[in-house]
Structure 1
């Protein structure tokens, strides 16, 4: 499938279109942003930063890259690909933003899953320069940007899809950049996600929250999926990588980190919620949700809202 550069970038300072040529991107007001030698663009002005080096550290990015490349979360990527490509013509040009792309695993999986007739204009954005640097080194066909979900450097109404996978959604910004009828694909941890690990690193667990998230303003909710499957980590290194790529690394105390470091193998359950929201009021009314058990392909349980 053809991968084309994403053309609808906006200046993070005044919102006007950015035009990229050579080694820089410029807007009509004269603001200029260098294209790094590795191929990414830093569109996070210093006045928009809350710290000197925001986002995931180089170590977290490296750990997540190793873990995801090993394939443990591939069922999540497959479900995301299906949600992104659903209801699109086979010969469509699809513009898609991964808002909080990390080192680019899910966009690379999407690029591999698209049909040959489809053209993808893919944009990966993350506030961590280390994440974007890693992503750009692995696939230069995709447009990679250092930026913030709070101020997306994207022109209004230009995206068919927005991904927010285990990230920090900013719904007004997502609504602004999506086309009418465009979709937000959101993945969040479910109530029993990685429970076996959490039981080891925390003295006690907080009560599980099961309430459905409210539908954001400007969107309508589509049928959702709950994905549950098991993974087996067979080394201390894999366990350390999983812990390092989650917020639990910084939430747990030294005793919990030590307990995790002592493990040499761990079986645990993945529980994630994939929710799609459509921009505007276009299309049919959503039906019942489907809960797919990926340990038994083809078996589904229907549940009313």
Structure 2
């Protein structure tokens, strides 16, 4: 059974939050309303680096359309197998996007009779809105990994899928003996697209995403599989959903936008760190 993880703390003073009707409140009177889509915004204005941080509405829509075609299903399966190998657990998705990987995980967990208590956050309100509309069984938050609004020692597993780890906060919310599962691009990820949109490819220097000596790398798996895009729209969605849209040259983007098909290599690290 999937249930929401609700060990929320106030992003303003760190006190526990309790649900009163449709609002989460702390003892100092700070209140955060649950939106009609089913999420709560726990990212105070003073903690935002921009007016609308994170992925834009267009990026979220493109990623949702792309992932729902199943192009990254092999990655979703490896990630799910890695999580469920530890049975019942409390889990935080630290950078959930529009929720594709979590939905896949929940479906497999329920088929396997694994009980999960889940919270998910993203700094993009557009991503969290889209995710919350799809699934009401877990706790969705607009929040940042820089200041995670969960209690100390409250989760067994943290997922960080193509996200930005903040080691101090991850250590704070993880229980002793907990796990951090990091998903990051490997050296050949989308190399065929990069060859089109960049005038010069950067060297493939890879470093571990986690450097703290308190996290021990316990396993790593390189997940490599082909992806065949057979429509111009799928290619545009892929380009729109990634940072390559802003980093690549205008000439490269123009060339990619004209393609009707593209064969790609997905090359991804799935690493597990214990704490």
TM-score bracket for this pair, using the shorter chain length: over 0.9
Who is 2:75 aligned against? 76
Whole-Å Cα distance in 2 between the matches of residues 196 and 269 of structure 1?
7
Distance apart, 1:135 and its partner CA: 0.5
Is the Cα–Cα contact under 8 Å of residues 215 and 221 in structure 1 kept in the other structure? no
Aligned with residue 220 of structure 1, among 213, 216, 223: 216
Who is 2:48 aligned against? 49
2:269 is equivalent to residue 270 of structure 1? no
Q: How is 1:34-113 mapped onto 2 (pairs within 5 angstroms)?
A: 34-88=33-87, 92=88, 94-113=89-108
Whole-Å Cα distance in 2 between the matches of residues 68 and 220 of structure 1?
31
Does 1 or 2 have the higher relative contact order (CA < 8 Å, sep 6+)? 2
Whole-Å Cα distance in 2 between the matches of residues 126 and 211 of structure 1?
24
Is the Cα–Cα contact under 8 Å of residues 40 and 144 in structure 1 kept in the other structure? yes
SS in 2 for 1:197: helix
Aligned with residue 163 of structure 2, among 160, 167, 178: 167
Distance apart, 1:211 and its partner CA: 4.2
Is the Cα–Cα contact under 8 Å of residues 99 and 149 in structure 1 kept in the other structure? yes
SS in 2 for 1:53: coil
Distance apart, 1:186 and its partner CA: 0.3
Who is 1:31 aligned against? 30
Q: How is 1:204-283 mapped onto 2 (pairs within 5 angstroms)?
A: 204-213=200-209, 215-279=211-275
Whole-Å Cα distance in 2 between the matches of residues 174 and 81 of structure 1?
20
- Report the RMSD for the aligned CA atoms in angstroms: 1.2
SS in 1 for 2:133: helix
1:214–1:9 Cα change, 3 Å: closer
The count of aligned residue pairs is 274
Is the Cα–Cα contact under 8 Å of residues 107 and 122 in structure 1 kept in the other structure? no
Who is 2:11 aligned against? 12
Aligned with residue 193 of structure 2, among 189, 194, 197: 197
1:125–1:211 Cα change, 3 Å: closer
Whole-Å Cα distance in 2 between the matches of residues 3 and 145 of structure 1?
17
Which piece of structure 1 moves more, 12-21 or 139-148? 12-21
Distance apart, 1:21 and its partner CA: 2.8
The TM-score with structure 1 as length reference comes to 0.87
Question: 1:52-86: per-residue Cα shift (whole Å, max 9, x none)?
Answer: 10000000000000011100101111111111122
Whole-Å Cα distance in 1 between the matches of residues 203 and 155 of structure 2?
37
SS in 1 for 2:178: strand
Distance apart, 1:215 and its partner CA: 3.9
Unmatched tracts of structure 2, length 5 or more: none
Is the Cα–Cα contact under 8 Å of residues 122 and 141 in structure 2 kept in the other structure? yes
